[in-house]
């Protein structure tokens, strides 16, 4: 091969541009072919007696294989990778068929790494013997710049078509009181098993919420009754019926479950009809004898709740409503309180010739 290339280049000595083109096409392919030969001395030329033959082909594209298998059956198989002029490779481009052995979620027990070029020793057609196991394999082309040439091979159990859903169960653990309630918190563990194609996904739902992927035991610490539903799907697509369990979480004895006490008081000058004159000040007070007050919030005239830090002064004439609430350090929030008052504009001296007239009560 190298001698032939040298003779061609010598013949093209008067055409330097042709020599450059030949070098750019021939040398990378020769290098990759030598790497392949070192890694797989005779495997590429071995003819297999395996009943299952899986064929990949490649052409001039750097973004996709020309053809790939999608599914296979677990057990022995012959992998054929052809990257030749017969499969449409007219540019003598080198490709690989490489099985992923590191990405999570895939089988890593097949270490195929075939390098093929139309000008290698076998014309770009290679074979390898493998033993596939149920699950998914990821394959790709390892040549730089060919990263989009990637795909998946789904392998099902060689014993036959899996039509049986997984077995799935759940159990609750935690400290329990004499009535069987879980004190403080409960931990739910879901288990699934499938002896044919294998478990693909496990899901759970808490208190009629949407199903979500289960990856670790679920801790439930909200006081009250709870229901957990659970299900599993195998790699053949069979889904189990949803199972369910119920349990109750209660607060530990001595734990604060009582919300704070909260109130509001108003100060300011008032007229004979008890309207506040000029301005009014609202002071909110909260008390919690167990875990203590964490925060106090208020809302004026339907505005969003804001953190209360100091007395609130109101100077806009009209009717006003203050709503308020408090939360303690154990997370208990009081019911919302409401207070309404009316504010009128202060009268000038000309409007109050005599004290006690109109809104001049305090003049």
Kindly state whether residues 334 and 206 are assigned to the same domain. Answer: no
Kindly state whether residues 151 and 35 are assigned to the same domain. Answer: yes
**Which two tokens mark 156?**
């099902």
Kindly state whether residues 152 and 298 are assigned to the same domain. Answer: no
Interatomic CA distance for residues 107 and 132, integer angstroms: 9
Query: CA-based angle 26:29:50, to the nearest 5?
Result: 140
Higher pLDDT, 230 or 363: 230
Interatomic CA distance for residues 188 and 273, integer angstroms: 62
User: Is the residue at 136 inside a domain?
Assistant: yes
User: Is the residue at 335 inside a domain?
Assistant: yes
Kindly state whether residues 59 and 174 are assigned to the same domain. Answer: no
List the CATH number of the domain containing 185: 2.60.40.10
Kindly state whether residues 149 and 11 are assigned to the same domain. Answer: yes
Task: Check residue 67 and report its DSSP letter.
Answer: B
- pLDDT per position as a tens digit, 271-304: 999 999 999 999 999 999 887 899 999 999 999 9
- pLDDT per position as a tens digit, 112-166: 999 999 999 999 999 999 999 999 999 999 999 999 999 999 998 765 577 899 9
Tell whether the model's pLDDT for residue 223 goes beyond 70.
yes
List the CATH number of the domain containing 63: 2.60.40.420
- pLDDT per position as a tens digit, 51-89: 799 999 999 999 999 999 999 998 899 999 999 999 999
- pLDDT per position as a tens digit, 339-354: 999 999 987 644 454 4
**0.85 exceeded by the pTM?**
no
Tell whether the model's pLDDT for residue 42 goes beyond 90.
no
Kindly state whether residues 204 and 271 are assigned to the same domain. Answer: no
Kindly state whether residues 53 and 180 are assigned to the same domain. Answer: no
Range of the domain at 133: 2-156
Per-residue pLDDT, averaged over 7-15, amounts to: 39
Interatomic CA distance for residues 53 and 278, integer angstroms: 93
- pLDDT per position as a tens digit, 166-201: 999 999 999 998 889 999 899 999 999 998 889 999
Question: Which residue from 97, 95, 148, 140 is spatially nearest to 117, judged by alpha carbons?
Answer: 95
* 195 dihedral zone (left: phi>0; alpha: psi -120 to 50; beta): alpha
User: Is the residue at 326 inside a domain?
Assistant: yes
Kindly state whether residues 93 and 115 are assigned to the same domain. Answer: yes
Query: CA-based angle 333:335:340, to the nearest 5?
Result: 130
Half-sphere exposure of 20 (CA within 13 A, CB side): 3
Per-residue pLDDT, averaged over 11-35, amounts to: 37
Q: How far is CA 192 from CA 53, 209, 247, 288, 312, in A?
A: 33, 21, 21, 47, 59
Helical H segments across 40-114, by residue range: none
Kindly state whether residues 83 and 117 are assigned to the same domain. Answer: yes
User: Is the residue at 162 inside a domain?
Assistant: no
Kindly state whether residues 266 and 339 are assigned to the same domain. Answer: yes
Lowest mean pLDDT: which of 19-23, 223-227, 337-341? 19-23
Last residue of a domain, one of 124, 156, 188: 156
Kindly state whether residues 28 and 117 are assigned to the same domain. Answer: yes
Last residue of a domain, one of 132, 156, 180: 156
> What is the total count of domains within the chain?
3
Last residue of a domain, one of 97, 121, 156: 156
Kindly state whether residues 24 and 119 are assigned to the same domain. Answer: yes
């Amino acid at each position: 091969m190298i001698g032939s290339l040298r003779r061609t280049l010598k013949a093209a000595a008067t055409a330097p541009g042709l020599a450059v083109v030949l070098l750019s096409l021939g040398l990378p392919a020769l290098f990759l072919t030598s790497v392949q030969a070192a890694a797989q001395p005779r495997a590429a030329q071995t003819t297999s007696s395996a009943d299952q033959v899986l064929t990949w082909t490649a052409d001039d594209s750097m973004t996709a294989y020309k053809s790939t298998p999608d599914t296979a059956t677990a057990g022995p198989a012959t992998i054929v990778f052809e990257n030749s002029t017969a499969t449409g490779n007219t540019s003598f481009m080198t490709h690989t068929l490489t099985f992923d052995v590191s990405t999570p979620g895939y089988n890593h027990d097949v270490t195929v790494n075939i390098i093929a070029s139309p000008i290698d020793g076998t014309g770009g057609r290679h074979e390898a013997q493998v033993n596939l196991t149920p699950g998914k394999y990821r394959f790709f082309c390892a040549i730089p710049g060919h990263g989009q040439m990637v795909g998946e091979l789904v392998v099902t159990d060689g014993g036959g078509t899996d039509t049986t859903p997984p077995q799935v169960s759940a159990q609750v653990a935690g400290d329990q009181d004499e009535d069987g309630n879980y004190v403080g918190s409960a931990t739910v563990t879901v288990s699934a098993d499938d002896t044919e194609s294998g478990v693909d996904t496990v899901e759970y739902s808490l208190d009629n919420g949407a199903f979500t992927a289960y990856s670790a035991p679920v801790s439930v610490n909200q006081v009250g009754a709870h229901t957990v539903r659970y299900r599993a799907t195998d790699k053949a697509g069979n889904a189990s019926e949803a199972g369910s369990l119920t349990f109750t979480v209660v607060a530990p004895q001595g734990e604060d479950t009582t919300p704070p006490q909260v109130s509001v008081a108003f100060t300011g000058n008032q007229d004979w009809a008890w309207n506040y004159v000029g301005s009014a000040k609202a002071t909110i007070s909260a008390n919690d004898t167990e875990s203590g007050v964490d925060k106090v919030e208020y809302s004026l005239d339907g505005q969003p709740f804001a953190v209360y830090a100091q007395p609130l002064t109101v100077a806009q004439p009209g009717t006003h409503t203050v709503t308020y609430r408090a939360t303690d350090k154990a997370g208990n929030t009081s019911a919302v309180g409401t207070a309404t008052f009316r504010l009128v504009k202060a009268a000038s001296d000309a409007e109050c010739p005599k004290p006690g007239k109109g809104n001049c009560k305090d003049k």
